[in-house]
Amino acid sequence: MSFTSPAPMPLEDLHPGRPPVLHVPAPAPADPAAWAAGHRDTLHGLVAEHGAVLVRGLGLRDAGQVGSVFGRLAPALMADTEAFAPRRTYAPGVYSSTVWPANQPMCMHHELSYTHRPPGLLLLACLTAPATGGATGLADSAAVLDALPPELVQRFEQEGWLLTRTYNDDIGASWTEVFGTEDRSAVEEHCRANAIEFAWQGDGSLRTRQRRPAVVRHPVTGRRCWFNQIAFLNEWTLAPEVRGYLVDVYGPEALPFNTRFGGGDPIGEDVVELINTVYAEHTVREPWQSGDLMLIDNIRTAHSREPFEPPREVLVAMGGPHLPVPASEGSTR
C-alpha cells in the first residue's frame, strides 16, 4: 500500500502589520476537508510559531464545507456557553460570528476568557467578505502585556478581573440562551461548578459575578499573556450614546455586562482607553476574502472585529478547552 504525501506548501507570506498568510496553490482543492486533514500539522505548527495564520485560496463555499474543515483541524469542537450575545448555530460546535452592530467595532479580546475553561484554539472561516471593513484584527498578548504600565499589570495580576452581568430579554443574550436551558436549577448548578456567583431578581432576571485571572501563562511556552476581556466588556468601551442609554434604562449597577478590578473597584475610563490604545498599537490585520480560513491561538493572540459594510458572513468554531493558570501560579519558563 502506498500513500501520497500532501503537495508541498508555499512559505507563509510575512509582512509588517499583517498576520502570516498561507497561500494554497491554485486551483482550490476539490475537497477542502481532506486538504485540511493532510496539512493539519503544518497549520498547527504555524499557529504555534506565529500565534495565528490566515489560509487563502481554500475556496470555502458553504457552512457544511466549513464544518468539515473545522472538524479535521480540531476534532473536539467546543459548545458556545456563557455567550454575551446570540449566535446562529450551523452544526454542533459551528456558529455564526457574534451578533453585534456592523457600524460598531468589537474591541480586542480573547474568546470566552471569562469562562472557567476557555478555548485554546479559535477557528474562523469567511464565506462572504464585506464590501468594506470587517477585518479580524490580531494582537500578541505577551507584547501587549509588556507594553502596559507595570503597576497596572501588577494590580490585575494580584486581583484578577471581575465580570458582572445582568441578563434580561431586552439586550444581549437572555439567561436561557446563555445557559441553554429554562431550568433555573440547571443554571445554578452550572454557576456553582464554574465559580460564578448568582442572584435571581424579583422580576425574573439574573445577575452574576465571576472573577478570573487577567494574566495567565501559555500552556505550551509558559509565557505570561494578557488574557481577558477587561476592556471589551467594560462600559467605557461602548459608544457614549449607547452607554448613556443603558445607564438611563438599567442603572449603573445593572448594566447587561461590565468589568471591574478583581477586588470590586470600578475600572476608570482612563484605564480602558489605555488598554485599547495599547491593543491598537499592536494590531495586525488583513482584509477578509471570501473562502478564507483563519486559525488563532486563543491564549497567545487577542482578536477584534472592525466596523464593516454588510453583508459579512464569518463562521466560528472553538477547540482545545484550556484551564487558565494565573501567571503568579505558573512556571517561570
Q: Could you read off the pLDDT of 96-106 as tens digits, one per residue? A: 998 889 999 99
Residue 57 φ/ψ region, left for φ over 0, alpha for ψ in the -120 to 50 degree band, beta for the rest: left
DSSP-assigned letter for residue 256: S
Which residues touch 229 (CB under 8 Å, ≥6 apart)?
109, 110, 113, 114, 163, 259
| pLDDT at position 333 | 38
Average confidence (pLDDT) over 198-217: 95
Angstrom distance (rounded) from CA 147 to CA 163: 23
Average confidence (pLDDT) over 25-32: 95
Average confidence (pLDDT) over 16-43: 96
CATH code, residues 143-277 = 3.60.130.10
| pLDDT at position 321 | 86
Say if residue 186's pLDDT is above 90. Answer: yes
For CATH 3.60.130.10, the residue range(s) in the chain are 21-141+285-321, 143-277
Condensed to tens digits (0 to 9), the pLDDT of residues 36-55 reads 999 999 999 999 999 999 99
Angstrom distance (rounded) from CA 42 to CA 40: 5
Q: What is the pTM of this model?
A: 0.94
Average confidence (pLDDT) over 19-29: 95
Selected from 1.20.140.10, 3.30.70.1290, 3.40.47.10, 3.60.130.10, the CATH number assigned to the domain covering 21-141+285-321 reads: 3.60.130.10
| pLDDT at position 27 | 95
